[in-house]
Amino acid sequence: MDPQDLPSRLPGPGEPAPQEARARSRDRGLRHVRRLSNWTAVALVAATAVTAGYLARAHPGTQQPASVTRSHSQAPRSSTGQPCVSVPVAVSGGSGVTTTAPAQSCAPSTGGGARPAVVYVKPGEDRED
Amino acid sequence: MPVTRPPRVPPWSRVDSEAAVAVAVRDALGTDARVALWPPDGLAVALDAVDAELSRLDQQASRFRAGSEISRIHRSPRRVHRVSRGLAEAVGVALAAARWTGGMTDPTVGSALAALGYDRDFASVGPGPTGSLPVPGPVPGWRSVELRGRLLRLPAGTCLDLGATGKGLGADRAAAAAWRASGRGGVLVSLGGDIAVAGRPPAGGWPVAVAESSLACFRDLAGLPAAVPAAQVVRLAAGALATSSVTGRQWRRGGQRMHHIVDPRTGYPATGPWRTVSVAAVSCAIANAAATAAIVAGPDAAAWLAGTGLPARLAGHDGAVRLVGGWPAANGGQLPEVACG
C-alpha cells in the first residue's frame, strides 16, 4: 500500500492531535478577525474624530479660515506608479444625477475648455404631478 | 420579537472605461452608489466592504425603513434611547454640523419633510392632496436634541432626518472601509454625488464631473432636452466633494413644487438664489453639511462659505456662478487640498 493512500499519519511526540490542531487553527482565525475588527474600529474612530474636530473648531460666521488650502499649480507627475485616469469616474450634482463625459488628459487644464459632459437623471427621480 | 430581514442588496454593475481603474455602480440608500478603485484587482473585496457600510448605515439611520434603528426610536413612546455606536456617531455628526452652520442644517427637519410629503423613499413619493400643506414655522431645533455618549434624548414628536450629513458620512465610512479592504492604491466612493476618496489618487486626482442641475427641472416641459451638460470637470486628490441642489428630488404638494432641502426657520423648502452648491472639504460629511447650509443661507451663502475657507462653487437660478476658497476656474482643474486648520 502506498503511504500516501493512508488516511492520516499519527501525531508525533509533542504534536497536538488533529482535532486539537483544528481548534487551534480556528482560534487563530478568530483572533485574526478580531484584530482586523479592532483596527477597523480604530480607523473609523479616527476618521470620525477628524470630522468632529473640524466641526468643533470651525465657527459659523468667522472670517478666520478654518481650513488651510494649498493650491496645485504644477503639472501632476505620473512617475509614482499612479495611473492616469482621463474619464470622469463620478459626478457630483445632487442626488440621482449620473453622467458620461469625454476623456481628458491628466494635467489640469489652463483654459476654460468646452463643456464636457452629458448628464442624465435616473428614471423616477423627478415626481411631478 | 419580530425579525427584521435585511433589505436585498442590488448587484453591482461594472461601468469602467479605462483599464487602470475599476468602476462599479448600484442603487443604494434611495440613490446611486459608485465605487472607483485602482488597482482594479481589489474591486471585489472593496465592494464587499462598501456593501457592509451602506447596509449598516441604512439599518441605523434610514427614516424610510420601518425596521431601522431611527424609525424604531421615532415610533417609541420613550424619550431617552440607548442607541448603537453607529447611530450615535451619525446623530453626533448631524448635531455638530448644525452647531457649525449656525442652524442652517438641522436634523430635526424630519417632521417638516414628512408633512411636505417626503415621508417615504423618494421613488415612492407622490403628489399629495390639494390643501394639505402644513402651516409654516420653525422646526423643533437641534438644541432640543441631547446626545451624551450613546444616550439620545429626543423631544416628543420630533423626527430626525440626517439628510444633510448622512450620505456624506456614509461615503466617508465606505471609502475608508473599501481602502482598508483593498489594502493599496486608492478608492473613490460616491453616494448620489457626495464623494469621498481614500488612499492614493490617480495622477492629478480623481476626475469628477460637477453638474449644476438635473433633468428634473425640465421634466414638466414639453420636448424636454435629452441631456443637460455638466458644468465642469475637477480633480479631487484627497478628502471629499459634495453637491446640494434644489433641482433634484422635487415633487408637487398642494399645487406647489417642493424640494428636499428644508429651511429649518420655516419648515419649507429653501428659496434662496442658489440652485446648486458644490463644496470640497476634508470629509464628505463636512462638505455635505456646508453645501446644504449654503443653499439654506441664500444670499449669505458665499460670504459664509468664504469664511470657512472651503473651496466651493455656487450656481444661481439666474445662471450666475460664484467660485470661493480656491475652487479652480479651469475645466479639469485640481481642487485645492483642504486640511484641518
- Banded pLDDT at B3 (limits 50, 70, 90): very low
- Banded pLDDT at A100 (limits 50, 70, 90): very low
Distance from CA of B86 to the nearest CA of A (A): 10
Strand residues in chain A grouped as ranges (E): 67-70, 90-92, 97-100, 118-121
How far apart (Å, rounded) are the C-alpha atoms in residues B22 and A83? 12
Q: In the 8-state DSSP scheme, what is residue B41?
A: G
Note whether B125 contacts A61, CB cutoff 8 Å: no
- pLDDT per position as a tens digit, B295-339: 999 999 999 999 999 999 999 988 899 999 999 999 999 999 886
Chain B environment of A110 (Cβ under 8 Å): 330
Note whether B34 contacts A125, CB cutoff 8 Å: no
CB of B228 less than 8 A from some CB of A: yes
- Banded pLDDT at A50 (limits 50, 70, 90): low
Amino acid B126 reads G
Nearest CA in chain A to B228: A119
Amino acid B213 reads S
How far apart (Å, rounded) are the C-alpha atoms in residues B36 and B46? 10
The most confident of the ranges A38-42, A90-94, B212-216 is A90-94
B interface test, pick of A63, A127, A128, A129 with most B CB neighbours within 10 Å: A127
> What is the pLDDT averaged over residues A53-68?
43
Q: Identify any residues that bridge with B25 across adjacent strands, giving them in sequence order.
A: B13, B34
Note whether B256 and B246 are within 8 A (CB). no
Q: In chain B, what percentage of residues exceed pLDDT 70?
A: 85
Question: Could you report the predicted ipTM of this complex, rounded to two decimals?
Answer: 0.85
Output the nine-digit C-alpha cell for A47. 476618521
More confident residue, B204 or A127: B204
More confident residue, B293 or A35: B293
CATH number of the B9-341 domain: 3.10.520.10
**Residue A40's pLDDT is what?**
54
The burial class, CB within 10 Å (0-12 / 13-18 / 19+), for A85 is buried
Name A94's Cβ contacts closer than 8 Å, sequence gap at least 6. Answer: B192, B193, B211, B214, B243, B244, B245, B247, B248, B249, B276
B interface test, pick of A33, A68, A78, A92 with most B CB neighbours within 10 Å: A92
**Residue B138's pLDDT is what?**
86
Q: Rounded to the nearest 5°, which phi and psi values hold at A70?
A: -130, 125
Note whether B209 contacts A43, CB cutoff 8 Å: no
B284-297 and B301-308 helices, crossing angle to 10°: 150
Q: CA Rg, chain B, in Å?
A: 19
How far apart (Å, rounded) are the C-alpha atoms in residues B214 and A101? 15
- Banded pLDDT at A52 (limits 50, 70, 90): low
Instruction: Say which range, A55-64, B179-188, B320-329, has the weakest mean pLDDT.
Output: A55-64
Nearest CA in chain A to B187: A89
**Residue B288's pLDDT is what?**
94
Above 50 in pLDDT, residue A3? no
Chain B environment of A92 (Cβ under 8 Å): 190, 193-195, 208-211, 241-243, 278
The most confident of the ranges A24-28, A47-51, B31-35 is B31-35
- End-to-end distance of chain A based on CA atoms, in angstroms? 82
**Residue B113's pLDDT is what?**
80
Q: If DSSP codes are grouped into helix, strand and coil, which group holds residue B339?
A: strand
Note whether B71 and B79 are within 8 A (CB). no
- pLDDT per position as a tens digit, B85-107: 999 999 999 999 999 999 999 99
Note whether A119 contacts B92, CB cutoff 8 Å: no
Above 50 in pLDDT, residue A49? yes
Chain B environment of A63 (Cβ under 8 Å): 306-307
Q: Is the peptide bond before B39 cis (omega within 30 degrees of 0)?
A: yes
Distance from CA of B81 to the nearest CA of A (A): 22
Note whether A69 contacts B326, CB cutoff 8 Å: yes
- pLDDT per position as a tens digit, A36-45: 555 555 555 5
More confident residue, B131 or B48: B48
- pLDDT per position as a tens digit, B113-161: 887 776 665 555 555 555 567 778 888 999 999 999 999 999 998 999 9
Domains of chain B, by residue range, sit at 9-341
Instruction: Say which range, B165-179, B190-204, B285-299, B326-340, has the weakest mean pLDDT.
Output: B326-340
Q: Identify how many contiguous H helices and E strands chain B contains and give both numbers.
A: 7, 21
How far apart (Å, rounded) are the C-alpha atoms in residues B262 and B242? 17
Transcribe B238-266 into DSSP letters. Answer: SSEEEEEESSSSEEEETTEEEES-EETTT
Chain B environment of A102 (Cβ under 8 Å): none
- Banded pLDDT at A75 (limits 50, 70, 90): very low
A interface test, pick of B150, B214, B323 with most A CB neighbours within 10 Å: B214
Note whether A52 and B96 are within 8 A (CB). yes
**Residue B246's pLDDT is what?**
86
Q: Identify any residues that bridge with B13 across adjacent strands, giving them in sequence order.
A: B25
How far apart (Å, rounded) are the C-alpha atoms in residues B35 and B25? 6
> Which of B249, B243, B246, B240 is closest to B231 using CA atoms?
B243
How far apart (Å, rounded) are the C-alpha atoms in residues B193 and B190? 5
Chain B environment of A62 (Cβ under 8 Å): 307
